[in-house]
Structure formats: C-alpha cells, structure tokens
Amino acid sequence: MPRTQFKAGFPTETITEGKARLLVPKLEAFRKSPSDYAPSKAPVFYNPIMELNRDIAVLALQAYQKTVSRKITVCEPLASLGIRGVRFATEVSGVKKVVINDISEKAYRIARHNVHMNKLDRKVIVKNIDANLLLSGHGAPHKRFDAIDLDPFGSPVPYIDSAVRALRNQGFLALTATDMAPLCGVHPKACIRKYGGKPLRTEYCHELAARLLAGCLATVAAKHEIGINVLFSQNADHYVRLYTTIEYGAKKTDETLRNMGYVLHCFKCFHRESVGGLSTIAHSEKCNECGSKLSVAGPLWLGKLFDKRFCELMEEEAKQGELRLKERILRILALAMNEADAPITYYVHDKVCDKLTMPVPSIKKLAQILKENGFQAYLTSFNPKGIRTDASAAKVQELLQRILNPSRIG
C-alpha cells in the first residue's frame, strides 16, 4: 500500500488497544440520537466494548500456543477492521501467520491499512471474500489452520461446519454468540432452529446459552468424526463465548457426545437436575421436590465449561501483560478456576429471596452457611449474584431463611 495518507471516506480516529495502533470509525459522528447504537450505524462495525473480549482472546491464544510449543497459523474469517487479528500478530508470541478476512470492501480497506500501520505486511494476509468460502479453501490436510476465531455479529452457527473442517488436529477454535434472546429462551423456536436445542428462561440462562452453543459445536463436529474439549467460557455484556480445541477420531467423538444431555428445571421451587444422553426426555417428568411439571432444556453440553490448567496459563499471561482491563480479567479467571469442578447450574440468591419474600443477604453469607452445613459453594463468573452448590433447592431456601433467623431449625 502506498505510504500516502489513508482516506476512509467517513470520520475516523486512531486508537491504541493492547499493543496495536488502529484506525476505527469515530463513533460519535454516527450517533444522531442518544438511543442510537453507534457501532451498527457506522459504515464498518467497531465496538469498543468488545475490548475485554479481544483481550481474553489474546490471552487464550497465547496459552494455547504455549501448550503446543510451535509456531501457529491463525484465521479470523469475520474480521471487520482486523483489530483482533492485528492484536494476535502483535501480542501473541509464536504466531507465524494470521489471515484476516471480511466480505465488506470498506472493512477490508481499513484492515489493510491497520496491518500496514503496525508493520505486519509480511505476517498478516488480508482477504475480502465470503467467510465460508475462505474456510472451505483450507479444509484439506496441510492447508488447515492451527487456530480460528469466529466473532460474528449474531450467531456463529453458519460458520461452524466450515471452521471445524479448516482446523488441524488439536486445533484451537474460539467462537462468540451475540444472539442472546434465542439462547436465553426469549425466542425458543429460533434457538431450536439454530442450535438444535431448547432453551429456558431461567435465572442461569447465560450458562445454558454457553452449554447450548457448546452442544451445537459438539454435534456439528461429530458429523466429521471430530471431538471437542471446552477450555474456557465467558459471559459478558451481550454475548457468550467459548474457547475449545478439537480432536480427530471416532473414539474422541463418542467421548464428546457422552457429555451431551438435558437440564430439567422446576419453575415453582427452583429444583434442577441434569440427565445425560441424547434420548428423548418425557415432558411429563415431575419435580421430585414439589411434584410440579419439569421444564426441559437441551440437548446441550453437560461437560465442563472451564479447564483449570488452561485458566491458570491464561492467568499467568494476564499477570505478565499490560492490559487496560487486567484487574477485571484476573477476577474473571479467578472465578473460572474456582468453579472449574463445581456442579452445573447456579442459584441466583436474590431471585430465591424474592420468592421467599425476605431481605437479600450477601452472597458471601450464603456461601458460608452452605459450607458450614457440609455443602459445596462456589461463586460463578456467569453472574455476580450466582452460587454453585450441590445443595438441593429446598436446602438453599432453608439456609437462606436461617441466615435471617439463626434460631430456625432445619
């Protein structure tokens, strides 16, 4: 690209994110009223709030690179301005090549400029084609990527099939879903169509969203005799995100599918339970605590959402780095490591207190009384008011009431 001043044709500004300098739309110029969502009003999509998402993506990719101990190739097929891909090339040691792509001509031009501005012309290739076409062109052996990051506006489902086929064995796949209304049960039919599982509007719907996304990935990959390992999950702002590796072979695929199943939930008493397997669940199942009808979510992923060792590697990278959001990231990782082996689903204690028409104690008090009574208790990164425990819903309610009235006998 000639070393003349770049002109985007619309208002822009230069920012610094991580170690990269980047040209982005000047969002204030596209906000005509206070209610306008400026990122979608701009000629190319840019969301500064997703800096946390990109920070964690950099940490996760670096952690993955250290586990494989070799140079890696990376693809970001839905790159927009190329911010994430430029940061991968700038901040992750051991990256040999990054391919960034966007079907928008305007985004492509700015992405090329951002690559040039960071002196990455020899390391980063910028393309301007359909994302699935790009990924399908790398589906053959010896052409596959080590890592792919799917960060669409909406659902990643249209790209999952081509993405898993474009990854080498033990490859790394990160994917974001921003269509939280279907995943959290507001539009259940849309969720069933896209993700192949039924959602529920429960207080832990964000965890169910991550499990529905993981379940969709697992079943799509299984068609190619590819299994998955979930390394880290994130819920923040308006999205859920998964970091996974894939593994070729029928044995690994069968092992993966054994992590599929259903979550049964009682909307009357908060009871929930999980049922493994992909067999049909009868909707007439009764709650064994109050006898009410149980609602069903799934099929979805029942396996772990966090790998403790991988989280530790990410934490090591975060502590060494100079990220603007470092403290927030370290808090997220600390919670993730703590809940890595905890029971699935969580109770949101103010929701339970609302049902009991009682004041809401601190989450720490609830955790303390659960532990004092021999139960597990883990705070969760999915909700600041959430707590994972092996106590029954009835026991959680009893112990909450005991906090208010210590003389109460359970």
Helix (H, G, I), strand (E, B) or coil at 192: helix
Q: What's the CA gap between 46 and 32, in Å, rounded? A: 17
> Taking residues 215-226, what's their average pLDDT?
98
pLDDT at 32: 82
Give the CA angle between residues 109, 171, 381 to the nearest 5°: 85
Contact 125, 97 (CB under 8 A): yes
H-only helix segments in 75-204: 83-91, 105-117, 131-136, 157-165, 180-183, 188-195
Rounded Cα distance, 83 and 350, in Å: 39
Mean pLDDT calculated for residue range 238-263: 97
**pLDDT per residue over 106-144, tens digit each?**
999 999 999 999 999 999 999 999 999 999 999 999 999
Structure tokens that stand for 140 in this block: 């053959």
CATH code of 48-308, in short, is 3.40.50.150
Report the percentage of the chain scoring pLDDT > 90: 87
The model's pLDDT over 259-314, given as tens digits with 9 standing for 90+, comes to: 999 999 999 999 999 999 987 665 558 998 999 999 999 999 999 999 999 999 99
Section 329-343 average pLDDT: 97
pLDDT at residue 1, rounded to an integer? 43
Segment 34-80, tens digit of pLDDT: 777 788 888 999 999 999 999 999 999 999 999 999 999 999 999 99
Name which of 3-7, 287-291, 329-333, 366-370 the model is least confident about.
3-7
- In words, the CATH class of domain 347-410 is alpha beta
**Is residue 410 scored above 60 in pLDDT?**
no
* Predicted confidence band of residue 213 (pLDDT cuts 50, 70, 90): very high
Average pLDDT, the chain: 94
What H or E segment, with its residue span, contains residue 167?
strand 167-177
Among 1-15, 86-100, 243-257, name the one with the lowest average pLDDT. 1-15
Q: Which secondary-structure segment (H or E) carries 300?
A: strand 295-301
Helix locations, 96-244, DSSP H: 105-117, 131-136, 157-165, 180-183, 188-195, 205-222
Stretch among 76-80, 239-243, 400-404 having the lowest mean pLDDT: 400-404
- Per-domain residue ranges of the chain: 48-308, 347-410
Residue of 133, 114, 110 lying closest to 123 (CA atoms): 114
Lowest mean pLDDT among 212-221, 234-243, 255-264, 302-311: 234-243
Question: Cα(126)–Cα(106) distance, rounded to whole angstroms?
Answer: 12
Output the pLDDT for position 236: 82
pLDDT digits (tens, 9 = 90+) for 170-210: 999 999 999 999 999 999 999 999 999 999 999 999 999 99
DSSP state of 48: G
CA distance 256 to 250: 10
pLDDT at 280: 65
